[in-house]
Amino acid sequence: MSEYRPMARTFAHLSDEAIVALVARSDEEALAELYDRFGRVAYGLALRVLRDDKLAEDAVQEGFLTAWRNADRFMPERAKASTWILTLVHRRAVDLVRREDRRRAEPLAEGVEPAPTASVEDDAWLRFERERVQAALRQLPDQQREALELAYYGGFSQSELAERLGQPVGTIKSRMFTGLARLRELLAEPGNGETAWKPTPSTT
Amino acid sequence: MEANALHDLTAAYALDALDVDDAREYEAHLSHCDRCRDELASLSEAAGALAYATEAPMPPPELRARILQQARRERPNVVPLRPRWAVPVAAAAAVAACAAIALGIWAVSLSSKLDRRDAALAREQRVAAILAQPGSRTIPFARGTLVVGKAGDAALVVQHLERAPTGRTYEAWISAGGPPRRAGLFNGGQNSAVPLKGSVQSGASVLVTVEKAGGVDAPTQKPILSVQS
């Protein structure tokens, strides 16, 4: 027996999709890696939907455990791994918020300072992504943006939205579709592309 | 609900904005509507991007520990290397495809792989299984990658190899000092996943020669490729 614990395998060179393939083979280290890549975004999303840290933790936990149980159903030709795991967490968060009926659509009152353990790189990248997606959202017509935000962050179903906004369900459907399709286009535009991000050395 | 009305639910489904009954009905529709599956894939990506527009405070560290602990508790009571040949073909393809992505190989479209025969999928999955082992190694060479598991179980992944002419085959060999041992036959083509018979110990070489169909007992040709493990 070795007196050393085996070195943690480095997953850095593996794609997100390859990590999920390893999760499908019940590889715990791969699950940890999946969490390290997406846990923070997933938690931020769950917190936005649920507005309660304990419930948000539950949603993240349930989402990742669903991934653990069902990773062999993940189809890389159908979805990016990031989309897949965030969908699992989002679905769980929406289930919980509907059950708790604690829905509200306003953004959180105040931003929470990242804990000191967050790496500078992570912070920079997440800030970049946030600004990129927010910029795309700002370019949508108000009614479309409202429909997307109330549905995705608020957890409202299309029929609840129709009632809340006093519009026919068909109108809500079409706002969601047009808004999401337009968002997809905006995010694909080179000016909004991920390649625009370059890690910059900290100067302070 | 009419099919047309169901198509219209794609964006709402991507946003998780359907009531339970509608969601169930839509999912049933999805299983036989290619158009909606494609549309959903692309709209879901846009919806997923919305996750990044929120503040992302660090989750409490205990959350990570709790998830991993619970996962361990639920872990199936088998070793992670259990053969999964018995899983449905689509899932097998997904795992193989992921492994392929990890290797940076498989230039062919993933969807075409789904149409391949079970035998080809099983071969690809053997490669995936070796790749997924802790401590497995990948050794790139000019035309592909040799994948070697800790116990010496190995597979050769070769790209862009002209199909073997009629009446001929590619034959892989493992060479470790003594005479090369037969390690498997394959036909070439754009991508070949070739699980090797016999183990590849450190320092051994894997060779490929062109032989007559059915293979031979010892190489008769100069190897067209060789890679040392």
Total domain count for chain A?
2
Nearest to B86 by CA among B61, B121, B116: B121
- Contact criterion met (CB below 8 Å) for B99 and B128: yes
**Tens of pLDDT along B180-217?**
899 999 988 777 788 899 899 888 999 999 999 989 98
Could you tell me if residue B62 is inside a domain? no
CA distances from residue A90 to A58, A150, A160 in whole angstroms, order as listed: 11, 14, 18
How confident is the model at residue B76, as a pLDDT? 61
| Pairwise CA distance, residues B96 & A204, whole Å | 46
Question: Domain boundary residue among A104, A132, A149?
Answer: A104
CATH number at residue A100: 1.10.1740.10
Complex-level ipTM: 0.84
Find the CB nearest A77 among B68, B87, B110: B110
Tokens of A4: 């050393």
Its domain, for residue A136, covers 118-196
Tokens describing residue B176: 């470790």
Identify whether residues B126 and B172 lie together within a single domain.
yes
Q: Among partner residues B50, B58, B68, which is closest to A117 by beta-carbon distance?
A: B58
In a domain, B112, yes or no: yes
- Strand, coil or helix: what is B186? strand
Q: Half-sphere exposure of A20 toward its Cβ, with a 13 Å CA cutoff?
A: 32
The number of angstroms, rounded, from the C-alpha of A121 to the middle of its chain's C-alpha atoms is 18
**What single letter denotes the amino acid at residue A7?**
M
Does A131 lie in the same domain as A89?
no
Q: Helix or strand or coil: residue B208? A: strand
Contact residues, chain A, for B114 at CB < 8 Å: 77
CB contact under 8 A, A60 and B67: yes
Question: Residue A172's pLDDT is what?
Answer: 96
CATH number, position B22: 1.10.10.1320
Which residue, of A42, A76, A104, is where some domain finishes? A104
Distances from the Cα of A178 to the Cα of A118, A143, B11, B16, B82, angstroms: 36, 10, 9, 16, 46
In this prediction, residue B8 carries a pLDDT of 86
Residue A145 half-sphere exposure toward CB, CA atoms < 13 A:
11
Assess if residue A113 is contained within a domain.
no
Mean pLDDT confidence for B78-94: 42
- Dist. CA B41–CA B74, nearest whole Å: 30
The answer to whether the CB atoms of A26 and B80 lie below 8 A apart is yes
Share of chain B above pLDDT 70, in %: 78
State whether B94 and A21 contact (CB < 8 Å): yes
Segments forming the whole domain that contains residue B126: 89-228
At A22 the pLDDT is 87
Give the whole-number percent of chain B exceeding pLDDT 90: 32
Instruction: Point out the least confidently predicted range of A101-115, A138-152, A175-189, B58-72.
Output: A101-115
Integer Cα distance of A22 and B123 in angstroms = 17
pLDDT band at A117 (very low <50, low <70, confident <90, very high): low
Cross-chain Cβ contact B64/A157 below 8 Å: no
One domain, residues B172 and B122: yes
Which of A78, A104, A130 delimits the end of a domain?
Answer: A104
Locate all alpha helices (DSSP H) within chain B, ordered by sequence.
3-7, 10-14, 20-30, 34-49, 61-74, 89-103, 110-114, 118-132
Q: What's residue A192's pLDDT? A: 52
Half-sphere exposure of B201 (CA within 13 A, CB side): 4
Q: State how many domains chain B has.
A: 2
Task: Note whether residue B83 is domain-resident.
Answer: no
Check whether residue A100 and residue A122 sit in a common domain. Answer: no
Nearest to A72 by CA among A135, A27, A40, A24: A24
Suggest the residue from A177, A185, A186 to mutate for an interface test with chain B (most B CBs closer than 10 A): A177
Specify the residue for token string 């619970």.
B70
Identify the CATH number of the domain in which residue A187 sits.
Answer: 1.10.10.10
The answer on B204 and B134 residing in a single domain is: yes
Q: Tell me, yes or no, whether A98 and A127 share the same domain.
A: no
Are residues A144 and A70 located together in one domain of the fold?
no
Q: What is the pLDDT of residues B124-171, one digit of tens each?
A: 777 777 877 777 888 878 778 888 888 899 988 887 788 888 889 999
> What share of residues in chain B are helix, strand, coil (percent, to 5)?
40, 20, 40
Please tell me the distance in Å from A203's CA to the nearest CA on chain B: 23
Q: Does A139 touch chain B (CB under 8 A)?
A: no
Q: Chain-wide mean pLDDT for chain A?
A: 83
Chain A: residue whose CA lies nearest to B21: A157
**Does B203 share its domain with B150?**
yes
